[in-house]
Structure 1
Amino acid sequence: MIYNLTGNFYTDVTNASRTLLYDLYDMEWCSDLLEKLDIPINSLPQVKPSFSNFGEMKEIIPGVPVTAILGDQQAALFGQNCINKGDVKNTYGTGCFALTNTGKEIVKSNNGLLTTIAYQKEGEDPMFALEGSVPIAGAAVQWLRDNLNIIDKSEDIESLAMLEKDNGDVYFVPAFSGLFSPHWDETARGSLFGLTRFSNKSHMARAVIESVAFQTYELLESMEKDLDTDFESLKVDGGMVANNLLMQFQSDILDKSIHSQEINEITALGVGVASYLYVMDLPLSSMGNYITSSKTWNPNMSNETRINSLESWYKAIEKAKNWL
């Protein structure tokens, strides 16, 4: 895209790190990997800091400089003002993507997470992050809508789930394409557990909603283990944040407060403000001036209920593994 816009063959450190061909320690393309994979280095773009001058646009808006590039989730991390070590956000879309800022430290995960570059400002050291990804979140709601015809519209899932006071001990593991972070089991498959003759579509809808929160819990649990810390709160964005039942259950199961922002397009906000801060030579800490908290959810679940729910989830996860 940068080449088409400016004629310059550039990328930034966040996108370079996503190829797994970029050395996070030396901050350059890994020559050993390129040699083993027979990839000529001149076929790869020059890597620049995320916030720097990538050149001027030739068309569309000629002469306007491109001054910020970020990977999708890194842009959301910055857009959520997660610029301090220990700040954490989760994006709820088709899948779920949680990132936590680890500062200037490269943290190698022992709990199934990925190490990546969060962002880098020109002239400064890069900031790093741990990332956890799950492929099926909102996609499970689409499955209920399109494959099972249980709901007509995606947003109908909340009202359907609210017809029952709990999940009826029904647990859904959305491993349609295996399990990603932190399990990494490609042999796992989607499973529905705990069904009885009294189970109904409302229980199933609630189980689907809760599966998103359980998966997010696992991501944050892994981060806390890797960083030897306890997060105070979670910043959230993405389409599923509109589901109040999900957000409240997420707060309950995490036993943490959750905060959303007024602006829905956090990814666009992040890279847009980053570009402005670079052009105006403002500190990255100024990001906080451009976001406003919209809603907060606080935990309201007993420890006993939380523990029992998590035990049932982990039991379901283990049963869904090694299906193939």
Structure 2
Amino acid sequence: MVISHNITEKKYVMSIDVGTTGTRTAIIDENGHIVSFSYRTNRQYFPAPGWVEQDPSDLWENVRTTMKEAITSRRIDVRDIASAGITNQRETLIVWDRHTGRPLYNAIVWQDKRTAPIIKDLDMDISDTIITTTGLRPDAYFSASKVKWLLDHVDGLRSRMKAGEAVFGTVDAWIIWNLTYGRKGSRNQKPIFATDHSNASRTMIYDISRLRWDHDLMELFGGIDENSLPQVNPSGSPDAYGHISDNASTIFEGREISITSDLGDQQAALFGQVCFDPGDMKITYGTGTFALANAGHDIPRSSARLLKTIFYSLHGGRINYALEGSILASGSALRWLENGIHMLGSAKEIEDAAQRVRSNEGVYFVPAFSGLGSPYWDQDARGLFIGLTERTSIDHLARAILESEVYMATDVIRSVEEETGSEITKIKCDGGGSRSDFLMQFQADMANSEVLIPETSETTVIGSGYLSGLTSGFWTGLNEIRELWRLGRIYRPGMKREERERLYVGWREAVKRSMGWASSIR
């Protein structure tokens, strides 16, 4: 279907996605097609066990490079770009100098576990306050404890914060700051220091009901000065995020593109999957696996296992919320098999190995490399294989690793069904894992639901572009955007209930052993 409109003479929107493993820029036309695309790998550093860092300057340089390549490789005229959207890895934290823009420490990535002791020291009352106020479970995964660690360990940082020199932000705030830093005389010479509701809701210091930074939690996590935090704006806003300056790249030649949206990556994927109705659900299989369900305009009821988070917001509109299950390691387990222990060389080899055996023969793998996220929230859990016998081969291990991605997603699906009281019959899936026929069929079987795969797997960058175009008037409304979604493949459940429950019982037993690991060695 071809979409036509008279809102603008522009031809494209641009979307920038700064993820964990890579940065991409896409140019998207009015029919929702990506007409130009550029990608660069984001380097990660592991300076100590459990630590994960990135160089903020590398992230920014990758944005500049991919923007230039996406525009110039197809000879896109900058004047034909209606607006731009930003999406990003959410809980990763960056600190930089307000005056020079120079990073004051490496980005502490969401996977980083150095702050786990800070979380362990929280008492039950404080934990309950965090859950009630922010919708999140106390965990090192989120940004707040990273701020406290930086204030406690980086020489002079606390005094620089109090003097108004040091600022903290998630990756979107860092990228928007750099994109909008203009040359003298440009429209926004002073950089924009802002984030949106969806990213703020992942910091563990943001009140998702009152829509403001919570001063009690800011004090708890190191005495954070509110002036050191970005302004929180609607996810879609025509003027809150400034314009991409020609200082960002010479390709703009004095022309400035308005940034009209900012959205966390998982919320962007939910938007890109056009999950606009309450109950709509998507699962993204990436470095981690993230399952989100649209919860409508009201904060979901209290959940002990799932996260309550902000989906997106529009300028002058109501907040849209989501229920989320965050699985901290899934695709990373495949990379561990490839690069960590060098047993198989690629994702295809892993899938081929898994399909050489007819079942897991009782072998399970729990990828708790840095604890377990939803629905268990156990920072002390550790990864394990269980059920090994003399018959166990590398093929069984490969199958167990692939199956673990589905079992963890099924944990979340069942939790969402319990929370909402509704059976989930359709799930939209994306991310790298959605390219695996084995994985998606097993997901359909274990969830007893249809699994729908879109024509494009780049739903995060597409969703960011959709929201930007909706805000700038490139598209006229959600119904028009709905029509842009195209089905690529569908998987239907075929497993008998008895087999499904037998496999799931084995998985839950493996998880119990994983969660008992820390106490068993004390």
With the shorter chain as reference, the TM-score category is over 0.9
TM-score (norm 1): 0.96
Superposition deviation, residue 34 in structure 1: 2.7
Residue 357 of structure 2 is aligned to residue 164 of structure 1: yes
Matches of 2:302 and 2:389 in 1, distance apart? 39
Q: CA deviation at 1:63?
A: 2.1
Do residues 31 (structure 1) and 225 (structure 2) align?
no
> C-alpha separation between the residues in 1 aligned to 2:214 and 2:369?
34
1:112-151 aligned at under 5 Å gives the runs: 112-151=305-344
Shift of 1:71: 0.5
SS at match of 2:201: helix
| Deviation at residue 46 of structure 1 after TM alignment | 1.5
Report the Cα offset of residue 284 of structure 1.
Answer: 2.4
12-21 or 297-306: bigger deviation:
12-21
Amino acid at match of 2:201: S
Match of residue 270 from structure 2:
77
Which structure 1 segments of 5+ residues have no match? none
Equivalent position SS for 1:68: strand
What secondary structure, in the 3-state scheme, does the structure 1 residue paired with 2:195 have?
A: strand
Task: Give yes or no for contact 1:83–1:285 (8 Å, CA) kept in 2.
Answer: no
CA shift for structure 1 position 108: 4.1
Matches within 5 A, 1:307-322: 307-322=501-516
Distance 1:156 1:275 in 2: 39
CA contact (8 A) 1:14 1:117 kept: yes
Q: 1:56 matched to which residue of 2?
A: 243
**Aligned match of 2:228 in 43, 50, 66?**
43
The answer for unaligned runs of 5 or more in structure 2 is 1-174, 181-190
Aligned partners of 2:409 and 2:357: how far apart in 1?
A: 23
Partner Cα separation in structure 1 for residue 410 and residue 403 of structure 2: 10
Please state whether the residue corresponding to 1:65 is helix, strand or coil: strand
Q: Distance in 1 between matches of 2:355 and 2:515?
A: 30
2:425–2:448 contact (8 Å) kept in structure 1: no
Runs of 4+ in structure 1 over 3 Å off = none
Partner amino acid, structure 2, of 1:18: R
Q: CA RMSD in A?
A: 1.4
- Alignment equivalent of 1:197, drawn from 390, 403, 422: 390
The whole-number CA distance in structure 2 between the counterparts of 1:13 and 1:112 is 22
> How many residues in Structure 1 have an aligned counterpart in Structure 2?
324
1:299 counterpart (467, 488, 493): 493
Higher RCO (C-alpha 8 Å, min separation 6):
1
- 1:67 Cα deviation after fit: 0.3
Matching residue's letter, 1:214 = Y
Partner of 1:179: 372
Taking the TM superposition and a 5 Å limit, the aligned residue runs for 1:277-288 are: 277-280=470-473, 282-288=476-482
Q: How does 1:102-121 map onto structure 2 within 5 Å?
A: 102-121=295-314
When normalised by structure 2's length, the TM-score is 0.60
2:466 is equivalent to residue 273 of structure 1: yes
SS of aligned partner of 1:290: coil
Find the residue that maps to 1:130 and give its secondary structure: strand
How far residue 11 of structure 1 moved from its aligned partner, in angstroms, is: 1.3
SS at match of 2:382: coil
Q: How far did 1:109 drift?
A: 4.0
CA distance in 2 between partners of 1:205 and 1:153 (Å): 11
SS in 2 for 1:2: helix
- C-alpha displacement of 1:23: 1.1
- Check conservation: 1:79, 1:287, Cα contact below 8 A: no
1:77: how far off? 0.7
Query: Percent identical across equivalent pairs?
Result: 40
